């Protein structure tokens, strides 16, 4: 025994304290290996944040602190309010006993139906939910603030703090502008609260809900009919997720001579000259997050480090900072054939898919303004960009997405875009609404 202890002591002297292995992984890849030596190149960089095998087998490590903000305005009368009661019954019964739960109702007035407490202390759920009756307008802004106040009662380093909003219409009382709600979601995000939104029916403001969810690092879901509400809520909260890191920050720093630095997709980014920063309040063991950025780089005649990527987070065990850093290096080639053959299929697929989603989003914004010419121009430009990416690959997955875009383009030319179309599109444009699982990622 003394010999073993002595050996361990000598090892510490020689190599220092044994460090715990990082629970996060960072993979970085560009859309091709070689770029044109004699011209400017658009370099796409895909970053994948994943978790180690150790993290995947770890037991759940954090308590969920959930606040449900539920619309009970007059427009919810009939089937919607019945579906809401049923969906909440299923949802609350599916939670763990130690999860913290609060429920805030809003019409013209705000009511806290359930103050924040552990799930096993809620009592007779059916009796509580039966009290949800439709009445009045929609004081949405105040309701969100009340839900956040309930979260604050139990928020701490060991909790996952999450707001879930369900509504079937626009705000009619208090602040109503998209900017007001975007700023509110940003305040919640700075506190470490995530916000997801569920729109029911055809009358809610999908731009408002999508913006809040994006800024709030959450999901935007669409329940077209009342009976779909249970599935939407279950998808939002049902999985028992293992928290492996919090307060993660992913930073991409392109070289100072880079131009047109850009970020794509659902994940909110802060762009400051050549720097792009993404804030990830929580990282779970079942996540594999894909993030896409790009920049224009002039040609060189040598290997070139186009950017540096850093992932930093706090260790859950001791709160100490951890980080992974990776350079992004590319090579230049005068041979056109070599450049074409060097395309990275996985990154090209992710790029084409994201660009198509971005283009459709831009088209919706232009159609809303009544400018169909600009909308069609955005869609045509997106189609051409996707085809250019696929020229070197002729990849069937990218080809299928381009065909989907062209079909949509034809429909928009023929009949325009109605409100139902918008809701379906806005809730399904980005795969980033739901981070892909490891199994899904392997299929790419």
Residues 297 and 182 in one domain: no
- Give the model confidence (pLDDT) of 120-139 as tens digits: 999 899 899 999 999 999 99
Give 38's pLDDT tier (boundaries 50, 70, 90). Answer: confident
Whether 84 is in a domain gets the answer yes
- Confidence (pLDDT) at 266: 81
In this prediction, residues 269-275 reach a mean pLDDT of 95
Longest Cα–Cα distance of the chain, Å, equals: 84
| 119, pLDDT greater than 80 | yes
| 413, pLDDT greater than 50 | yes
Distance between CA atoms of residues 150 and 145, nearest Å? 9
Residues 251 and 163 in one domain: no
Distance between CA atoms of residues 40 and 25, nearest Å? 31
DSSP string for 280-349: EEEEETT--EEEEEEEEE---SS-EEEEEEEEEEE-TTT--EEEEEEEEEEEEES-HHHHHHTB-HHHHH
More confident residue, 211 or 440: 211
3-state secondary structure (DSSP) of residue 266: coil
Going 53 to 57 to 59 to 62, the CA torsion angle's sign is positive
Residues 102 and 228 in one domain: yes
Query: Distances from the Cα of 387 to the Cαs of 250, 360, 381, 398, 412, in angstroms?
Result: 30, 15, 10, 8, 20
Q: Which has the closest alpha carbon to 252: 11, 396, 427, 48?
A: 48
- Confidence (pLDDT) at 424: 65
Residues 350 and 425 in one domain: yes
In this prediction, residues 397-418 reach a mean pLDDT of 77
- Give the model confidence (pLDDT) of 7-25 as tens digits: 443 333 333 333 345 689 9
Residues 151 and 46 in one domain: no
In this prediction, residues 331-355 reach a mean pLDDT of 91
Residues 175 and 295 in one domain: no
Give 203's pLDDT tier (boundaries 50, 70, 90). Answer: confident
Give 224's pLDDT tier (boundaries 50, 70, 90). Answer: confident
Residues 78 and 176 in one domain: yes
In this prediction, residues 49-66 reach a mean pLDDT of 73
Number of domains in the chain: 3
- Confidence (pLDDT) at 213: 93
Strands in 275-284's sheet, in edge-to-edge order, are: 34-36, 321-333, 304-314, 243-254, 275-284, 270-272
pTM of the entire structure?
0.81
Give 323's pLDDT tier (boundaries 50, 70, 90). Answer: very high
Residues 219 and 122 in one domain: yes
- Confidence (pLDDT) at 54: 65
Residues 262 and 124 in one domain: no
Whether 166 is in a domain gets the answer yes
| 409, pLDDT greater than 80 | no
Please give the mean pLDDT across all residues of the chain: 85
222: Cα within 13 Å, side-chain hemisphere: 22
Burial of 234 (0-12, 13-18, 19+ CB in 10 A): middle
237: Cα within 13 Å, side-chain hemisphere: 32
- Confidence (pLDDT) at 268: 86
More confident residue, 284 or 3: 284
| 221, pLDDT greater than 80 | yes
Q: Are strands 63-71 and 100-106 parallel, antiparallel or unpaired?
A: parallel
Residues 228 and 123 in one domain: yes
Residues 297 and 332 in one domain: yes
Whether 14 is in a domain gets the answer no
In this prediction, residues 411-420 reach a mean pLDDT of 67
Give 392's pLDDT tier (boundaries 50, 70, 90). Answer: confident
Bridge partners (DSSP) listed for residue 200: 223
Q: Among 27-41, 56-70, 170-184, whose mean pLDDT is lowest?
A: 56-70
Q: Which has the closest alpha carbon to 69: 179, 190, 184?
A: 184
Residue where a domain stops, chosen among 341, 362, 392: 341
| 440, pLDDT greater than 90 | no
Phi then psi for residue 83, to 5 deg, are: -65, -35
Residue where a domain stops, chosen among 196, 211, 237: 237
In this prediction, residues 61-70 reach a mean pLDDT of 89
3-state secondary structure (DSSP) of residue 227: helix
Residue where a domain stops, chosen among 322, 341, 360: 341
Range of the domain at 73: 63-237
Give 288's pLDDT tier (boundaries 50, 70, 90). Answer: confident
CATH number for the domain spanning 117: value is: 3.40.50.410
Q: Which has the closest alpha carbon to 110: 47, 171, 193?
A: 171
Q: Which has the closest alpha carbon to 152: 186, 191, 180?
A: 191
More confident residue, 97 or 238: 97
- Confidence (pLDDT) at 364: 76
3-state secondary structure (DSSP) of residue 225: coil
């Amino acid at each position: 025994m003394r010999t073993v202890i002595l050996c361990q002591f000598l090892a510490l002297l020689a190599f220092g304290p044994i460090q715990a292995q990082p629970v996060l992984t960072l993979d970085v890849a560009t859309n091709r290996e070689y770029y044109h030596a004699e011209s400017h190149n658009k370099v796409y960089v895909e970053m994948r944040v994943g978790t180690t095998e150790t993290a995947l087998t770890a037991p759940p490590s954090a308590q969920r602190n959930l606040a449900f903000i539920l619309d009970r305005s007059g427009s919810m009368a009939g089937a919607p309010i019945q579906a809401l009661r049923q969906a909440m019954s299923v949802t609350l019964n599916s939670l763990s006993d130690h999860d913290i739960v609060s429920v805030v109702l809003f019409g013209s007035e705000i009511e806290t139906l359930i103050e924040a407490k552990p799930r096993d202390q809620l009592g007779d759920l059916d009796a509580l939910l039966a009290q949800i009756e439709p009445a009045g307008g929609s004081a949405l802004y105040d309701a969100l603030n009340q839900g956040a106040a309930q979260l604050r009662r139990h928020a701490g380093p060991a909790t996952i703090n999450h707001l879930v909003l369900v509504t079937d219409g626009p705000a009619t009382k208090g602040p109503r502008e998209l900017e007001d709600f975007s700023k509110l979601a940003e305040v919640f995000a700075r506190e470490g609260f995530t916000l997801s939104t569920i729109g029911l029916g055809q009358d809610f403001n999908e731009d408002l809900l999508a913006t809040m969810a994006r800024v709030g690092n959450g999901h935007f879901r669409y329940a077209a009919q009342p009976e779909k509400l249970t599935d939407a809520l279950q998808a939002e909260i049902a999985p028992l997720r293992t928290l492996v890191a919090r307060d993660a920050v992913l930073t991409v720093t392109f070289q100072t001579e880079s131009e047109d630095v850009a970020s794509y997709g659902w994940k909110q980014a802060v762009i400051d000259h050549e720097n792009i920063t993404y804030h990830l309040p929580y990282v779970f063991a079942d996540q594999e997050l894909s993030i896409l950025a790009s920049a224009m780089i002039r040609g060189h005649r040598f290997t070139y480090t186009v950017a540096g990527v850093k992932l930093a987070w706090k260790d859950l065990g001791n709160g100490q900072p951890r980080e992974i850093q990776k350079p992004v290096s590319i090579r230049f080639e005068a041979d056109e054939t070599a450049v074409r053959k060097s395309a990275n299929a996985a990154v090209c697929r992710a790029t084409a898919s994201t660009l198509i989603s971005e283009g459709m989003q831009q088209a919706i914004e232009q159609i809303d303004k009544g400018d169909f010419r600009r909308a069609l121009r955005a869609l045509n430009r997106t189609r051409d960009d996707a085809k250019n990416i696929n020229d070197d690959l002729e990849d069937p997955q990218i080809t299928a997405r381009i065909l989907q875009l062209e079909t949509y383009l034809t429909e928009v030319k023929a009949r325009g875009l109605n409100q139902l179309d918008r809701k379906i599109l806005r809730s399904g444009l980005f795969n980033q609404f739901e981070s892909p699982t490891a199994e899904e990622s392997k299929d790419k």
